[in-house]
Amino acid sequence: MSSESGGRKRLPSISSAILLAAAIGVIEASALILGSEILLSIMGVSHASTMHSPAKLFLSLRALGAPAVVVSLAIQGIFRGLKDTKTPLLYSGLGNISAVLLLPFLVYSLNLGLNGAALATIASQYLGMFLLLWSLSKRAVLLPPKIEDLDFVGYIKSGGMLLGRTLSVLITMTLGTAMAARQGTIAMAAHQICLQVWLAVSLLSDALAVSAQALIASSFAKLDYEKVKEVTYYVLKTGLLVGAALALLLFASFGRIAELFSKDPMVLQIVGSGVLFVSASQPINALAFIFDGLHFGVSDFSYSASSMITVGAISSLFLLYAPKVFGLPGIGFESRSLVVFAPERTNIQGINRKIENGSDQRVVVSKDSHNQQAHMAGTIQPDDSIIKEAEPLGFLENNAAFINLIIKPLW
> What mean pLDDT is predicted for residues 371-397?
38
Q: What's the confidence (pLDDT) of residue 377?
A: 40
Q: What's the confidence (pLDDT) of residue 200?
A: 84
Q: What are phi and psi of 328, to 5 degrees?
A: -60, -40
Give the closest residue to 14 by CA, choosing from 175, 182, 150. 150
Ranked by mean pLDDT, the top range of 23-27, 275-279, 313-317, 324-328 is: 23-27
Q: What's the confidence (pLDDT) of residue 144?
A: 65
> Quick check: 402 pLDDT over 50?
no
- pLDDT band at 409, cuts 50/70/90? very low
Of residues 262 and 323, the one with the higher pLDDT is 262
Name residues whose C-beta falls within 8 Å of residue 362's C-beta, 6 or more positions apart in sequence.
355, 389, 390, 392
SS3 at position 252: helix
| Sign of the alpha-carbon dihedral angle for 194, 196, 202, 204 | negative
Q: What's the confidence (pLDDT) of residue 169?
A: 81
* Residue-wise pLDDT tens digits, 77-96: 889 878 788 899 899 999 99
Helix or strand holding residue 388 (H, E)? strand 387-390
Q: Which pTM does this prediction carry?
A: 0.66
* Residue-wise pLDDT tens digits, 260-273: 888 899 988 888 88
Q: What's the confidence (pLDDT) of residue 339?
A: 40
Contact 57, 36 (CB under 8 A): no
Give the closest residue to 203 by CA, choosing from 298, 76, 300, 14. 76
* Residue-wise pLDDT tens digits, 167-187: 888 888 888 788 777 778 888
> Quick check: 366 pLDDT over 80?
no
Q: What's the confidence (pLDDT) of residue 45?
A: 84
Helix or strand holding residue 389 (H, E)? strand 387-390
Name residues whose C-beta falls within 8 Å of residue 239's C-beta, 6 or more positions apart in sequence.
205, 208, 286, 287, 289, 290
**Mean pLDDT score across all residues of the chain:** 76
Neighbour count for residue 46 (Cβ, 10 Å): 12
Residue ranges of the domains in the chain?
Answer: 1-151, 162-411
Give the closest residue to 57 by CA, choosing from 79, 87, 33, 76. 33
> Quick check: 120 pLDDT over 60?
yes
Helix or strand holding residue 358 (H, E)? none
* Residue-wise pLDDT tens digits, 331-352: 444 444 444 344 444 443 443 4
Contact 236, 216 (CB under 8 A): no
> Quick check: 117 pLDDT over 90?
yes
> What mean pLDDT is predicted for residues 11-35?
89
d(CA 119, CA 177): 23
> Quick check: 134 pLDDT over 70?
yes
277-281, 301-305, 392-396, range with the lowest pLDDT: 392-396
